[in-house]
């Protein structure tokens, strides 16, 4: 079998069928439409009850569900535009958990017919995939397709190892889940097809959920399947990539948005794995940085460690030695007065300067003095009292300015004064190209919609 990377490359190609889905677009009554181009694997992720299964049913039947998705249009690879509700996508839907229960009930009633039908052996490479996913060591796997009274084929799986032979009625739910998925995707569904799979992770360990990648990518690339998987497994999103995922949420009605590196994690109620370290000159730089990201709705810092090290020289020392770290990515965030530094101007450098022209404290002081009326309202202090306190402290060192200002105004140091000044700075500078460029560098996901 081809290597996984090679299979992935092939899975990025359009499905060789006019029925394949090229683009899906959501048209909310109030709001902007959202479009997503699909390759051969798309993940639909969301919490319990968000509407994942209903979304698959919406695509499958073309009928509106109780969750009430907005109107959708689907552009097929054949150039046809489908309108939902109304039109029906030409696809197959698989609900492994429900179908396995139904199959095993049928097998229980058909035991007298066992061994009367031809066993079809899985190829050695296919057995290897199943063993890899399940961490099992079966020597051979076969399937006996038994005809029921309605003329359907009921799969009975037989697994052998040395002198041990077990069939579907003795296998675990997780084992049956992988075998059933393999049988449906690889053995039964012939030719290029769009297939919707509802919660393929049912009954599987986190490791097996990760290893499902091999089965689905093989089906997508070698068996020409376009797969849309509904799941609440972060492990499946992890291997598929958030860039080919959408997040289902439900307010009054269900709707979806494009996934980014953090929103699907938050929707599932999990904490993002921290894979990055941002190193700052001081804590004021951290606050300034977080305020910018918060204003634009970025959660990039929630999946990173934020460290301040007292000075630009220490930022370099805290980043440069760790560029080959295989687990964490280190990025140095320098104050704006360092933007001409070689560390920042080198395009390949892991350093970036904050927007503005001066350190965050000086930027914040200037925004306060330029907007005294607005700042006094934001902090709940009379303008005259603020002006008096400003005159007293403007000549002092900027590092302690806001602490001293708050002591004059309130009799104690309040961090909120600097934080409010940072928020005001962002409001006044939100449309600057430098601010936008900084944000897109830190969080490229924000520009994906």
Angle at 445 between CA 440 and CA 447, to 5 degrees: 60
Structural tokens at position 78 = 């054949």
For position 252, what pLDDT does the model report? 77
Per-residue model confidence as pLDDT tens digits over 9-67: 988 889 999 999 999 999 987 778 999 999 999 999 998 888 999 999 999 998 877 66
Whether the predicted pLDDT of 449 surpasses 60: no
Q: Look at 193-197, 267-271, 321-325, 422-426 and tell me which has the smallest mean pLDDT.
A: 267-271
Give residue-wise pLDDT tens across range 56-72: 999 999 887 766 889 99
Name which of 74-83, 154-163, 337-346 the model is least confident about.
337-346
Q: State the pairing for strand pair 34-37/21-27.
A: antiparallel
- Which domains are assigned to the chain? 4-95+190-267 (3.40.50.300), 96-188 (no CATH), 274-442 (no CATH)
pLDDT value of position 58: 92
State the chain's mean pLDDT as an integer: 91
What span, in angstroms and rounded, lies between the C-alpha atoms of 179 and 216?
A: 13
Report the alpha-carbon distance of residue 385 to residue 387 in Å, rounded.
6
Task: Determine the Cα angle at 70 with ends 64 and 76, to 5°.
Answer: 85
**Of 33-42, 120-129, 178-187, 301-310, minimum mean pLDDT range:** 301-310
| 204 or 446, higher pLDDT | 204
**pLDDT at residue 406, rounded to an integer:** 94
Helix (H, G, I), strand (E, B) or coil at 190: coil
Q: How confident is the model at residue 265 (pLDDT cuts 50, 70, 90)?
A: confident
Tell me the whole-structure pTM to 2 decimals: 0.71
Among candidate residues 123, 98, 96, the one with its CA nearest the CA of residue 185: 96
Which residue in the block uniquely carries the two structure tokens 């048209």?
A: 27
What would the DSSP string read from start to end of 119-182? EEEPPHHHHHHHHHHHT---SEEEEEEEE-TTSPEEEEEEEEETTEEEETTTS-HHHHHHHHHH
Is the pLDDT reported for residue 272 higher than 70? no
């Amino acid at each position: 079998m081809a290597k996984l990377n090679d299979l992935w490359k092939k899975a990025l190609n359009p499905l060789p069928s006019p029925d394949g889905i090229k683009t899906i677009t959501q048209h909310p009554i109030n709001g902007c439409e959202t479009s997503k181009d699909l390759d051969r694997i798309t993940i639909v992720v969301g919490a319990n009850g968000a509407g994942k299964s209903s979304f698959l049913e919406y695509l499958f039947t073309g009928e509106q569900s109780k969750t009430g998705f907005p109107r959708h249009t689907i552009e097929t690879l054949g150039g046809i535009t489908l309108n939902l509700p109304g039109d029906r996508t030409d696809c197959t839907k698989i609900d492994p958990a429900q179908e396995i229960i139904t199959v095993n009930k049928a097998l229980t009633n058909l035991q007298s017919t066992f061994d009367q039908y031809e066993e079809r052996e899985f190829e050695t490479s296919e057995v290897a995939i199943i063993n890899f996913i399940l961490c099992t060591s079966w020597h051979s796997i076969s399937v006996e397709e038994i005809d029921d009274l309605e003329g359907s084929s009921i799969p009975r799986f037989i697994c052998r190892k040395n002198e041990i032979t077990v069939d579907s009625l003795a296998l675990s739910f997780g084992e049956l889940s992988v075998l059933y998925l393999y049988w449906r995707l690889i053995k039964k569904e012939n030719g290029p097809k769009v297939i919707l799979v509802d919660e393929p992770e049912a009954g599987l360990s986190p490791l097996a959920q990760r290893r499902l990648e091999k089965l689905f990518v093989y089906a997508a690339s070698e068996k020409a399947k376009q797969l849309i998987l509904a799941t609440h497994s972060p492990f499946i999103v992890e291997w598929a990539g958030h860039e080919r995922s959408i997040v289902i949420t439900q307010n009054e009605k269900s709707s979806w948005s494009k996934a980014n590196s953090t929103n699907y994690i938050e929707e599932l109620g999990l904490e993002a794995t921290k894979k990055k370290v941002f190193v700052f000159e001081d804590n004021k730089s951290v606050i300034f940085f977080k305020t910018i990201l918060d204003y634009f709705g970025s959660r990039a810092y929630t999946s990173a460690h934020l460290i301040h090290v007292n000075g630009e020289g220490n930022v370099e020392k805290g980043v440069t030695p760790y560029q080959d770290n295989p687990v964490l990515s280190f990025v140095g965030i320098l104050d704006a007065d360092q933007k001409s530094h070689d560390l920042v101007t080198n395009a390949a450098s892991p350093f970036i300067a904050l927007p503005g022209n001066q350190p965050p404290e000086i930027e914040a002081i200037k925004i306060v003095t330029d907007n005294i009326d607005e700042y006094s309202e934001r902090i709940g202090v009379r303008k005259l009292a603020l002006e008096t306190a400003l005159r007293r402290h403007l000549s002092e060192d900027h590092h302690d300015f806001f602490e001293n200002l708050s002591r004059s105004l309130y009799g104690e140091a309040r961090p909120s004064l600097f934080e409010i000044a940072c928020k005001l700075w962002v409001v006044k500078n939100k449309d600057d190209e430098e601010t936008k460029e900084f944000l897109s560098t830190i969080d490229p996901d924000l520009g994906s919609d």
